Structure 1
Amino acid sequence: EARAERIKPSIISTVRMTWWIYLILTSFGILLFFLAGMRPWEAINHAMTAIGTGGFTITDKSMAYYNNFFIELAIIPMMILGAIPFLVHYKVLKGNLNAFFKDTQCRAFVVILFILLVSLFASNYSLYGDVFGCLRYSSFQLVSGLTCTGFQTTGVQGWSGTGLLIVCMSMIIGGGAGSTAGGVKLIKAVIAYKWIRWSLRRNFLPPRAIISLRLGDRLLEREEIVKIVSEASLIIILWLLFLFAGVCVLSAVVGSQFQLGEVMFEVASAQGNVGLSTGITNAGMSCIGKVMLILNMWIGRLEIIPVLMLFRVLVKGFEPI
Structure 2
Amino acid sequence: MDFRPILFIVGILLCTLSIGMFIPALVDLYYGQRDWIVFSAASFVSLFVGGALIMMNRMDNLKINSRQAFILTTLSWLVLTAASALPFAFSDLDMSYTDAFFEAMSGISTTGSTVIVGLDTAPQGILLWRALLQWLGGIGIIVMAIAVMPMLRVGGMQLFRMENSDKSDKAFPRATQIAMGIAMLYLSFTGLWAIMLWSAGMTPFDAIAHAMTTIATGGFSTKDASIGHYDSAAIDVIITLGMATGALPFILYLQMLRGQGRALFRDSQVRWFITIAVSIVVGLALWHSETNNVDFLYALRFTSFNIVSVMTGTGYATTDYGLWGPFAVTVFFFVMFIGGCAGSTTCGVKIFRLQVLYEIAKIQLSHMLRPHGVFIAYYNRKPLSEDVTESVLSFFFLFVFCFVVLAAALGAMGLDFITAVSSAGTAIANVGPGLGPIVGPSGNFATLPDGAKWLMSIGMLIGRLEVFTVLVLLFPAFWRD
**Structure 1: how far apart are the matches of 2:411 and 2:191?**
42
**1:77 and 2:241 correspond:** yes
Q: Is the 8 A contact 1:156 1:277 kept in 2?
A: no
After superposition, residues 59-208 of structure 1 pair within 5 angstroms as: 59-125=223-289, 126-127=291-292, 129-205=294-370, 207=372
Query: Looking at CA atoms only, which structure, 1 or 2, has the larger radius of gyration?
Result: 2
- Give me the whole-angstrom Cα distance separating, in 1, the residues matched to 2:285 and 2:206: 30
**Is the partner of 2:302 in helix, strand or coil?**
helix
Number of the residue aligned with 2:423 = 266
Task: Report the equivalent of 2:396.
Answer: 236
Is 2:476 the counterpart of 1:319? no
Q: CA deviation at 1:182?
A: 0.7
Q: 1:302 to 1:67 in 2, by over 3 A?
A: same
Once the two structures are superposed, what CA deviation does each residue of 1:111-154 show, in whole Å capped at 9, x if it has no partner?
A: 21123224433553323632122222221111001111111111
Q: Distance in 2 between matches of 1:73 and 1:181?
A: 19
Counterparts of 2:420 and 2:281, CA distance in 1: 22
Change (3 A) 1:309 1:206: closer
Take 1:271 and 1:161, find their aligned partners in 2: how far apart are those partners? 23
The CA RMSD over aligned residues, in Å, is 2.1
Deviation at 1:272, TM superposition (A): 1.4
SS at match of 2:383: strand
CA contact (8 A) 1:51 1:79 kept: yes
2:470 equivalent in structure 1: 307
- Matched residue type, 1:101: F
Matching residue of 1:39: 203
In the TM superposition, residue 255 of structure 1 has moved relative to its aligned partner by: 4.5
* Alignment partners' CA distance in 2, 1:51 and 1:163: 26
Residues 123 and 160, structure 1, Cα contact 8 Å, conserved in 2: no
Structure 1 gap ranges (5+): none
**Which residue number in structure 2 is paired with residue 9 of structure 1?**
173
Whole-angstrom distance in 1 between the partners of 2:364 and 2:180: 42
| Match of residue 275, structure 1, among 432, 440, 451 | 432
1:194 Cα deviation (Å)?
A: 1.5
- CA separation of 1:230/1:150 partners in 2, compared to 1, >3 Å: closer, same or farther? same
Q: Are 2:282 and 2:300, in contact at CA under 8 Å, matched by a contact in 1?
A: no
Structure 2 vs 1, CA of residues 305 and 33 (structure 1 numbering), >3 Å: closer, same or farther?
A: same
Please give the secondary structure, in 1, of the residue aligned with 2:323: coil
* Alpha-carbon distance change, 43 to 230 in structure 1, aligned in 2, over 3 angstroms: same
- Distance, in Å, in 1 between the alignment partners of 2:287 and 2:310 is 16
Query: 8 Å contact 2:310–2:336 — kept in the other structure?
Result: yes
State the TM-score, normalized to the length of structure 1: 0.89
Residue 67 of structure 1 deviates from its aligned partner by 0.8
How far has the Cα of 1:277 moved from its partner? 3.0
- State the 1:95 CA deviation: 2.9
Which deviates more from structure 2 when the two are superposed, residues 127-136 or residues 76-85? 127-136
> Cα distance, 1:102 vs. partner?
0.8
Secondary structure at 2:322 match in 1: coil
Q: Greater CA deviation, 122-131 or 284-293?
A: 122-131
Relative distance call for 1:206 and 1:300 in structure 2 (3 A) is: closer
Which one is further off, 152-161 or 121-130?
121-130
Alpha-carbon separation, structure 2, partners of 1:302 and 1:210:
36
Q: How does 1:279-298 map to 2 (within 5 A)?
A: 279-280=438-439, 281-298=444-461
Report which stretch shifted further, 26-35 or 1-10. 1-10
Q: How many residues align?
A: 310
Gaps of 5+ in 2: 1-156
CA–CA distance in 1 between the matches of 2:288 and 2:344? 30
Structure 1 position 316, deviation (Å): 6.1
* Distance (Å, rounded) in 2 between the aligned partners of 1:276 and 1:95: 39
Report the Cα distance in structure 2 between the residues aligned to 1:288 and 1:161, rounded to whole angstroms.
29
- Alpha-carbon offset, residue 264 of structure 1: 2.8
Q: Tell me the secondary structure at the aligned position of residue 299 of structure 2.
A: helix
Instruction: State percent identity of aligned pairs.
Output: 28
Matches of 1:138 and 1:32, distance apart in 2: 22
TM-score of the pair, normalised by structure 2: 0.61
* Counterpart for residue 407 of structure 2: 247
